């Protein structure tokens, strides 16, 4: 069954930051979230440039790759193009050195949903009240969890939880994005979020708020909860519902942008020239980074507020900036370079259980608690018998 996205986006500076390095983009076929990093304004530049390059995957309004393989190749190619652009810019302007960004791109080709991700921004899927974490963080702390050296609960407060092992940065030989093929269905709800949310709210809390009756309310509730517990980072969310593309009531929505990519970015003449040289077929206007990205023609808009201003926190937000009309189509990507297959996990169906979407990793917390309980029983028996 062909599906598409209905979406709500929101972003906030958080309780400490004075600038927003997050960027997010939503359209009927493509969702993107990037969390930039780097000194000066480099983080904002990195996330805005990445969003512009990946935004080119939209192509014509309503368009997308024709099959999952093409979607995966296009995502990988966009990641490599972004990396080349960031490298060229940092070589041209020392102030941009070491800039980078996390990135999640969720592309829908009609029946298949393809995910590309790198860094510690997350994608969750909610199906019939059950929350699943689709992506696995590329962090030092996540590696400790995977190897049994750290529990998920302790990972949430670990002092090095933001230490990335992989990001989309200015290193030309850096890693590709991980690719995950997800078998989702109408009625599933997705959450893309920066670590300003996931580092501060438990999976259980996220699942409860995400299950709200409407996506815009859920997006607001998630951001408000992160702010309520004092998130020190920018917090950005995309809440998207998968709907039947063939339903008579379905109409296209305009692409929406929030965060750093919705504002002018600060580029030196040398960095701007390097950017143009590295992406000659993809014009990027520093005063309007997302100009040229396709948008649907429907006049209605479903976006939460872009809440960048600390003075406006807690008030009714304004709409996120819509992307400008298309000026160019995305370049046809070359065949992807050989790489390792992405790990995927499918839980076997059991009577009375909700089937786990393929490519989705369920929460590790129940399994961990069961293991601890078994260990405790074994120790108790050893004491009694010994």
Q: 345: how many CB neighbours lie within 10 A of its CB? A: 12
The Cα-based distances of 249 to 2, 111, 112, 252, 293 in angstroms read 14, 18, 21, 10, 25
pLDDT digits (tens, 9 = 90+) for 337-361: 333 333 333 333 333 334 555 555 4
Query: 93: which 2 tokens?
Result: 């302007």
Q: What is the pLDDT of residues 41-55, one digit of tens each?
A: 799 999 999 999 999
Please tell me the predicted confidence (pLDDT) of residue 367. 40
According to DSSP H, which parts of 293-364 are helical? none
Q: Which helix (H) or strand (E) holds 259?
A: strand 256-259
Supply 63's token pair. Answer: 């368009």
What are the structural domain ranges in the chain? 3-385
Considering the chain, what is the average pLDDT of its residues? 79
- Token couple for 317: 């937000």
**CA max distance for the chain:** 77
Q: What is the pLDDT of residues 186-226, one digit of tens each?
A: 999 999 999 999 999 999 999 999 999 999 999 999 999 99
Residues 98, 170: contact at Cβ < 8 Å? Answer: yes
Q: How far apart are CA 268 and CA 89, in angstroms?
A: 9
Which pLDDT belongs to residue 306?
43
pLDDT at 62 over 60: no
- Domain 3-385: CATH superfamily, name plus number: PPM-type phosphatase domain (3.60.40.10)
Residue whose token pair is 């850096």: 174
Query: Residues 4, 28: contact at Cβ < 8 Å?
Result: yes
List, for residues 315-342, the tens digit of each pLDDT value.
Answer: 323 334 445 443 333 333 334 433 333 3
Distance (Å, rounded) from C-alpha 108 to C-alpha 336?
19
Is the pLDDT reported for residue 364 higher than 50? no
| Higher pLDDT among residues 288 and 355, named by residue | 288
20-34, 69-83, 163-177, 287-301: which range is least confident on average?
A: 287-301
């Amino acid at each position: 069954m062909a599906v598409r996205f209905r979406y709500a986006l929101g972003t906030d500076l958080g309780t400490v930051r004075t600038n927003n390095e997050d960027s997010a983009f939503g359209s009927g076929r493509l969702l993107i979230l990037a969390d930039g990093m780097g000194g000066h304004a480099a983080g904002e530049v990195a996330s805005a440039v990445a969003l512009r390059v990946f935004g080119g995957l939209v192509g014509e309004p309503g368009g997308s790759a024709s099959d999952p393989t093409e979607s995966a190749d296009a995502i990988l190619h966009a990641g490599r193009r972004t990396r080349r652009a960031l490298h060229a810019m940092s070589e041209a302007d020392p102030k941009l050195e070491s800039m980078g960004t996390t990135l999640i791109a969720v592309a829908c080709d009609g029946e298949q949903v393809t995910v590309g991700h790198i860094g510690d921004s997350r994608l969750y899927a909610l199906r019939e009240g059950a929350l699943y974490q689709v992506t696995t963080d590329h962090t030092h702390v996540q590696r400790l969890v995977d190897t049994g050296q750290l529990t998920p609960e302790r990972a949430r407060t670990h002092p090095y939880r933001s230490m990335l092992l992989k990001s989309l940065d200015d290193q030309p030989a850096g890693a590709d994005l991980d690719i995950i093929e997800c078998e989702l269905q109408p009625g599933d709800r997705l959450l893309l979020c920066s670590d300003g949310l996931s580092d501060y709210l438990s999976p259980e809390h996220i699942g409860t708020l995400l299950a709200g009756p409407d996506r815009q309310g859920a997006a607001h509730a998630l951001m408000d909860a992160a702010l309520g517990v004092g998130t020190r980072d920018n917090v950005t969310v995309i809440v998207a519902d998968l709907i039947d593309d063939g339903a008579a009531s379905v109409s296209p929505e305009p692409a929406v942008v929030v965060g750093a990519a919705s504002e002018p970015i600060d580029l030196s003449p040398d960095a701007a020239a390097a950017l143009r040289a590295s992406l000659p077929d993809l014009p990027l206007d520093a005063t309007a980074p997302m100009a040229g990205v396709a948008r649907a023609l429907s006049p209605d808009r479903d976006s939460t507020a872009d809440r960048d201003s600390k003075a406006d926190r807690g008030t009714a937000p304004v709409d996120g900036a819509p992307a400008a009309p298309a000026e160019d189509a995305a370049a046809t990507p070359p065949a992807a370079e050989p790489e390792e297959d992405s790990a995927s996990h499918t839980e076997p169906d059991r009577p009375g259980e909700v089937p786990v979407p393929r490519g989705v990793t369920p929460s590790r917390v129940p399994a961990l608690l069961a293991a601890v309980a078994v260990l405790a029983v074994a120790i108790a028996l050893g004491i009694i018998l010994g």
